[in-house]
């Protein structure tokens, strides 16, 4: 039996059909430019890739095409459950939930907290309910893993009424990835997850760090929204909260335009004035581009500082995990970060670090020193496993 995992963005739909027990992947793909000209669906199966024109269709059209494909491949009757990535579950969800009308209401109630993401997730769920009638559907929340954070980690020092009336607190994101790589790292270290204090660094276009004590999140760098914390591709990460008002008055931009610029024109892109893509920046820095060099330096400086902050949250550190497109592939970001963190006990193994790229994984530090590892994240597998657990009640 197969689990279909759906990850819906506002104009995209990423999917995978897999067996959560054996990890066997039957079909995966990505629909892009949904609802606009050039909408297409890419299907990957057994190393072969095909692309279909969706003729401007939206999420429903993409799912209809997927359904036809599954039917043609004789896989349709094998779909036992559908697991949906849902970005924001607020304080209501600390675990995945089978989708019922009440759960849909609760996901809708979280829309003000994630106005760009949750509506797309809802559109995907509604389209999947229509496409797979009678098949159990499960919501897996990005925020749920972090609901174990204590108040010292999740409260902001703002008027208490903002927390009680508007839910202003830190929620954290990338929970599925942090939980997955922490579990994998424990396996690689040959120790029970319950005994380990790990710091996980998910570094991709969006980036966050998490302090994981005994398999539970106790702090993380993202907050009320995925804008807080580290420098990201186009997101600023932490800035002075006084910046918004100052820039708005100086520039004539509205507050929401300032927030938009902090989300889309900042981070690596803003610093380098060149690109948001780490690989491109590394190449440009190698050619002597000063902006690219500065962007890399600030990225690493903030990352090392945030890892140290997570170390303080944990009290004792048993390992650091790198994951995400940058964490899994940039040997130079890892090397520079660990060089700054030598005081915690890390000592780089240069050969192992250089080898841990493009799917390579494992330890990148010398034997006998505090371990840092590369773990390839697999959010689809984690969502499929959690979906299966909810459906089977285990």
Which one of the spans 159-167, 277-285, 337-345, 346-354 is the region binding ligand AMP (CB under 6 A)? Answer: 277-285
Q: Distance (Å, rounded) from C-alpha 79 to C-alpha 81?
A: 6
Mark the segment that binds ligand AMP (CB under 6 A) among 40-48, 90-98, 274-282, 348-356: 274-282
Name residue 104's beta-bridge partners: none
Positions 78 through 137 that interact with ligand AMP (CB under 6 A):
none
Member of 23, 33, 55, 279 binding ligand AMP (CB under 6 A): 279
Binding range to ligand AMP, per CB under 6 A, among 32-40, 109-117, 120-128, 272-280? 272-280
Task: Return the closest-CA partner of residue 91 out of 138, 156, 143.
Answer: 143
Measure CA 93 to chain center.
17
In the bound state with ligand AMP, the residue whose beta carbon lies nearer, of 193 and 373, is 373
Q: Which residues contact 27 (CB under 8 A, 6 or more apart)?
A: 15, 16, 17, 43, 44, 45, 69, 70, 73, 75
| Number of chain residues interacting with ligand AMP (CB under 6 A) | 12
Q: Starting at the edge strand that comes first in sequence, how are the strands of the sheet with 207-213 ordered? A: 216-220, 207-213, 197-203, 319-323, 372-374, 362-363
Q: Assign 321 to helix, strand or coil.
A: strand
Q: Measured from the CB of residue 282, what is the shortest distance to ligand AMP in angstroms?
A: 6
Q: Does 326 bind ligand AMP (CB under 6 A)?
A: yes
277 makes contact with ligand AMP (CB under 6 A): yes
259 binds ligand AMP (CB under 6 A): no
Task: Pick the closer one to ligand AMP by CB: 191 or 279.
Answer: 279
Identify which of residues 143 and 234 has a Cβ nearer to ligand AMP in the complex: 234
Residue positions counted in the chain: 394
324 binds ligand AMP (CB under 6 A): yes
Residue closer to ligand AMP (CB basis): 126 or 283? 283
What residues from 176 to 205 belong to the interface with ligand AMP (CB under 6 A)?
Answer: 204-205
The CB-of-204 to ligand AMP minimum distance in angstroms stands at 2
Smaller CB distance to ligand AMP: residue 208 or 365?
208
By CB under 6 A, residue 329 contacts ligand AMP = yes
Handedness of CA 333, 323, 144, 313 (dihedral sign): negative
Give me the 202-241 binding string for ligand AMP, x by CB under 6 A, dash otherwise: --xx---------------------------x--------
Beta carbon nearer to ligand AMP, 177 or 386: 177
Query: Is 336 among the residues that bind ligand AMP (CB under 6 A)?
Result: no
Neighbours of 19 (CB within 10 A): 17
Query: In the structure encoding, which two tokens stand for residue 94, read together?
Result: 């600390």
Who's near 184: CB < 8 A, 6+ residues apart? Answer: 375
Tell me, yes or no, if 44 is annotated catalytic: no
Under the binding rule (CB under 6 A), the answer on residue 12 touching ligand AMP is: no
Residue 252: CB minimum distance to ligand AMP, A: 32
The residue at minimum Cβ distance from ligand AMP is: 325
Note whether 278 binds ligand AMP by CB under 6 A: yes
The dihedrals phi and psi of 4, each to the nearest 5 degrees, come to -95, 125
Catalytic-labelled residue, pool 19, 21, 44, 142: 142
Nearer to ligand AMP, 127 or 182 (CB): 182
Phi-psi category of 167—alpha, beta or left, where left has phi over 0 and alpha has psi -120 to 50? left
- For 170, 215, 237, 325, 380, the CA distances from 321, given in Å and listed in that order, are 22, 13, 20, 13, 19
Taking CB atoms within 8 Å and a gap of at least 24, the contacts of 271-279 are 271/231, 271/295, 271/298, 276/205, 276/233, 276/234, 277/233, 278/233, 278/325, 278/326, 278/330, 278/333, 279/329, 279/330
Provide the minimum distance between the beta carbon of 219 and ligand AMP in the complex, in angstroms, as a whole number.
22
Of the candidates 282, 318, 349, 380, which one interacts with ligand AMP according to CB under 6 A?
282
Q: Which residue has the tokens 């650091």?
A: 320
Q: Catalytic residue positions? A: 142
Site residues (vs ligand AMP, CB under 6 A): 204-205, 233, 277-279, 282, 324-326, 329-330
């Amino acid at each position: 039996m197969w689990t279909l995992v759906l990850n819906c963005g506002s104009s995209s739909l990423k999917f995978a059909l897999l067996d959560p027990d054996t990890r066997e992947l039957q079909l995966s793909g990505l629909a892009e430019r949904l609802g606009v000209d050039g909408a297409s669906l890419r299907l990957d199966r057994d190393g072969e890739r095909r692309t279909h024109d969706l003729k401007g269709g939206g999420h429903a059209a993409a799912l209809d095409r997927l359904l036809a494909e599954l039917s043609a491949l004789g896989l349709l009757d094998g779909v036992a459950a559908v697991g949906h990535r849902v970005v924001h579950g607020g304080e209501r969800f600390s675990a995945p939930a089978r989708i019922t009308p009440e759960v849909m209401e609760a996901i809708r109630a979280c829309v003000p907290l994630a106005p760009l993401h949750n509506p797309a997730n809802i559109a995907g769920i509604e389209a999947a309910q229509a496409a797979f009638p009678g098949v159990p559907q499960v919501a897996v929340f990005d925020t749920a893993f972090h609901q174990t954070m204590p108040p010292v980690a999740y409260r902001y020092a703002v008027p208490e009424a903002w927390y009680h009336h508007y839910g202003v607190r830190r929620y954290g994101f990338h929970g599925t990835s942090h939980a997955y790589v922490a579990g994998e790292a424990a396996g690689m270290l040959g120790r029970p997850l319950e005994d380990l204090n790990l710091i996980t660094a998910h570094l991709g276009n969006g980036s966050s760090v998490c302090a994981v004590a005994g398999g539970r999140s106790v702090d993380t760098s993202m907050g009320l929204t995925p804008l807080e914390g580290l420098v990201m591709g186009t997101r600023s990460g932490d800035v002075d909260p006084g910046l918004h008002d100052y820039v708005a008055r100086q520039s004539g931009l509205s507050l929401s335009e300032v927030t938009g610029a902090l989300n889309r024109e900042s981070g690596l892109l803003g610093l380098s004035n060149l690109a948001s893509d780490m690989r491109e920046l590394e190449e440009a820095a190698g050619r002597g581009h000063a902006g690219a060099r500065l962007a890399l330096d600030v990225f690493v400086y903030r990352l090392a500082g945030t890892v140290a902050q997570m170390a303080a949250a944990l009290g004792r550190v048993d390992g650091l995990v790198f994951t995400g497109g940058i964490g899994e592939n940039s040997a130079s970001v890892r090397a520079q970060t660990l060089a700054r963190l030598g005081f915690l006990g890390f000592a780089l193994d240069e050969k192992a670090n250089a080898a841990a790229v493009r799917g390579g994984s494992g330890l990148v530090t010398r034997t006998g020193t505090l371990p840092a590892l590369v773990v390839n994240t697999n959010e689809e597998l984690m969502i499929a496993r959690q979906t299966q657990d909810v459906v089977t009640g285990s």
